[in-house]
Chains A and B, each alone.
Chain A
Amino acid sequence: MSKNAGINNAEITSGQCAKLYILFALGSSALILPTVVIEIAKQDAWLTMLLAGPINYLVLMIYLALADRFPNLSLVQYMEKLIGKWAAKALMLTYVLFFLVNSALVLRNISDFLGLSVLPITPTWFIDAIFMLVVIYGVCLGIETMARTGEILYFWSTFVIFIILIALLYQLDYKNFEPLLYNGILRPIKGLYPILGFPIGEFVFITMIFPLVRKTDRKKLRKSLKLATVMITAYSVLLTLFLIGVMGVDESSRSPFAVYDLAKNINIEEILVRVEILVAMIWIGTIFMKLVLCVYVLSVSTAQLLGLSNYRPLVVPFGFVVLPLSLIIYRNIAHARVFSAGVWTVYSVFQGYVLPLLLLIIAVIMKKRDNSEGNSFENRYQANESIGDNKSGDETDSIATKEPAPT
């Protein structure tokens, strides 16, 4: 097989990992989430976003604690070491389903957004198909390419967000925030509900990326991820502040893509106007990153579940599954509201916090640590690769049965 045939053809730096984390958080949720939160928390929504910061941090701590114990293994891999082969396979399957549904949702977000605001006549499936083509190509290129794309997109999205915020600074009306806590502290806390699942619960994808971080860079990883959490909180607080300050509570809670509408308000002396398409471009970029990561994690976890030597054969089939699934995942915008603000949270919290937390508790009780080179991600799959080579190239044949590591 070629040199980039393995699952882990690559390694990324801790900075790239943090940037992927931020882009994943910005993609789709920054565009859609504020509306939902402002609808619940009204003018205190920015407080909600601030409160979401510590929760995000705590969840990240769970992932990092697990990563400390199993630095060279992904979530799906150390599950096997913790709870045995068959129980782990069952749990893995829930993660595969989770990322499948998540990919479909993210793809649906992009076609909803483009269909409503930019390309109303173009059929949804066409937007989806074109987008999916690029995503499949991106996932096939591997994590290193994705991380480098992430670095470019990260710079541009930060740049555009700040340009937009600076351009709107003079329109900020502090009166829109008053009175603070009109209905007590309970209201901003209630607003946390949708955020718990979308996007915080979805951050579980990062556990699949951790083992790919360069070994010499591991020490910096903790620091850069913490910084990333602070940045995510800062972005969401800033965006919500500007939404409420510029558009007011009522309008921003009635607009499904509030940040896009926010950019429509930019008007600097009639010279700099109608720049909202910049926002559309940036959201396409960040949502692309989120979808690429979702599909990557989906393919890799399936490959690890089935013990394949290479995740790439799975990408195109998954593309064909995700695309129709995204068309039927919810019926219309109204259904999407119920789904994303109610159902998704429960599902995502279960997959994103409860299972990793249980795994961590099991690991702590069983005092399990596994960072031996012998069981490391790379060697294991290089071994599998040779098994795969011996057999025929057929996909089903390359399923390698492995002994679970002795417990």
Chain B
Amino acid sequence: MSGRQSDGNDELLMKIVRTSILLWMSCILLFLSGCWDLRYLDKLGVVLAMGIDEDLSGKQKLQLTVQVVLTQNVAALSKGGGGGESPVTTYTDTGDTIFEAIRKMSAKTSRRLFFSHTQMLLISEGMSRKGIYPLLDLIERNPDIRTNISVAVTRGSTAKELLQVKTQMEAIPVIQILDMIEINQESYGMNYPVYVKDLIKTAGRGLMQASVPTVRMEGDKAKSNTSDNTSTIPAGAIPALTTMAVFRDGKLVEFLKPKESRGLSWLQGKVKNTVVKLACPESEGYLIVEVSNAHNRTTVRNVKGMPVVDITLSLIGNLQEITCPGIDVADEKAMDRIGMMTSEAVKQEAEAVINILQKKAKTDALGWAKEIYIHQPSLWRRIVPNWETEFPKVKHEIKCTTKINGSGIRSRSIVK
């Protein structure tokens, strides 16, 4: 009897304990709710890309365009419906600085713009020529915006127009541009992604100048931002990559030619996979070598008080296309010869970019200053005061070796 009663008491006690714990936890919730900084997801406009143009009216320094994802339309798209509603929209406003323009935009948006997921920054050619570092300060300083944003320069059309193109392959247009740069690096190596944090590093010690990929619009601009653009095959207008653009002190100076652009990639060690075209030695036609592995090493020698930059490129490739007769791929000598031809072709591309950087653009986008600083600090100390004039005079030596591994899944070619 008494035992039972005490059981009842225990139960009551447990109940009180449980209730008080529950009460305590709900009290704690008051403190854990994120305080003043709470932001509801459905009150945020997630910005995927920013585009910076010159202000056309000339009254202010820049015109900012943001590409905002429309979550309700994305949800409709993934369900298979869609009905022609665009998953993104853009807002544009002018300002003397980016932050000013962003905040001015609040006059047009019902949601607070949220920059934590911004992935791309497009800068128009005009703005790039005026200098990009003032545009990056906000991105670096603001705790909300991350610095792994991919950067591209627009050529021929404004950043605004490029952010408004409807694309077919990707529902969200900026993803198309973003992935295009990476795919190009992985398969052709003419462009490679450059992130805001990389540019900030070039701004820092000033020992390397910036280089950024370029995007343009291909096709009919007029209808690029309507759904007509994607209703035809092929699309009326598409964003397309061109070549790398090189900067001097944060100001765009030169768009490289395709050959030079890949030369820059070789020397920066950015080539992941590419194809090298060679003319057949004895007959009409071409050989294509797919380079699947490229490795580069740069050192600096001190020759009579002047730096000589030694660049060693070692490539591994495969013969993948033969359009001329008389190539015996079973012969090791022939393979070695193709390897040497590949090396020569790659060397030419590298020489081409060094030539234009030293002679025409006069900008050290290869980071030779950094290499000299690292490898020959005493020499660097002496030449640093007039590095600007010294850079075009720096000599270099490129050694390139190619190892050809095989010739695909066939030996002799059917071309006769």
Chain A residues at the B interface, C-beta cutoff of 8 Å: 116-123, 126-127, 130, 175, 178-179, 182, 248-251, 264-265, 267
Contact = CB atoms under 8 A, between A and B. Distances in A.
B370 A175 contact: yes
Contacts of B37: 118-122
A272 to B, nearest CB: 14
Nearest to A119: B37
A127 B35 CA distance: 9
B187 to A, nearest CB: 19
Contacts of A123: 36
A117 B36 CA distance: 14
Interface in B115-164: 143, 146-148
Contacts of A121: 35-37
Given A251-B201, A251-B204, A130 B31 contact: yes
Given A117-B143, A121-B36, A182-B373, 16 more contacts: A119-B35, A119-B36, A122-B35, A122-B37, A126-B35, A130-B31, A175-B370, A175-B374, A179-B374, A182-B377, A249-B204, A250-B204, A251-B197, A251-B200, A251-B201, A264-B146
A175 B298 CA distance: 11
A175 to B, nearest CB: 6
A178 B36 contact: no
B415 to A, nearest CB: 41
Given A120-B143, A121-B36, A248 B370 contact: no
Contact of A249 (B34, B36, B148, B205): B205
A130 B31 CA distance: 8
Contacts of A250: 201, 204-205
Contacts of B146: 264
B313 to A, nearest CB: 18
A123 B35 CA distance: 9
B370 A179 contact: no
Contact of B143 (A116, A127, A175): A116
Nearest to A261: B147
B359 to A, nearest CB: 27
Contacts of A248: 201, 204-205
Given A175-B374, A182-B377, A267-B148, A122 B36 contact: yes
B201 A178 contact: no
Interface string B201-220: 10011000000000000000
Contacts of A178: 373-375
A123 to B, nearest CB: 7
B383 to A, nearest CB: 14
A250 B200 CA distance: 9
30 contacts: A116-B143, A117-B143, A118-B37, A119-B34, A119-B36, A119-B37, A120-B143, A121-B35, A121-B36, A121-B37, A122-B35, A122-B36, A126-B36, A127-B35, A130-B31, A175-B374, A178-B374, A178-B375, A179-B373, A179-B377, A182-B373, A248-B201, A248-B204, A248-B205, A251-B197, A251-B201, A264-B146, A264-B147, A265-B197, A267-B148
A248 B367 CA distance: 15
Contacts of A251: 197, 200-201, 204
A314 to B, nearest CB: 25
Contacts of B375: 178-179
A251 B139 CA distance: 13
Nearest to B202: A250
A194 B31 CA distance: 36
Contacts of B370: 175
**Nearest 5 interchain pairs by C-beta:** A250-B204, A179-B377, A178-B374, A122-B36, A122-B35
Contacts of A179: 373-375, 377
Interface string B358-384: 000000000000100111010000000
A207 to B, nearest CB: 35
A117 B375 CA distance: 38
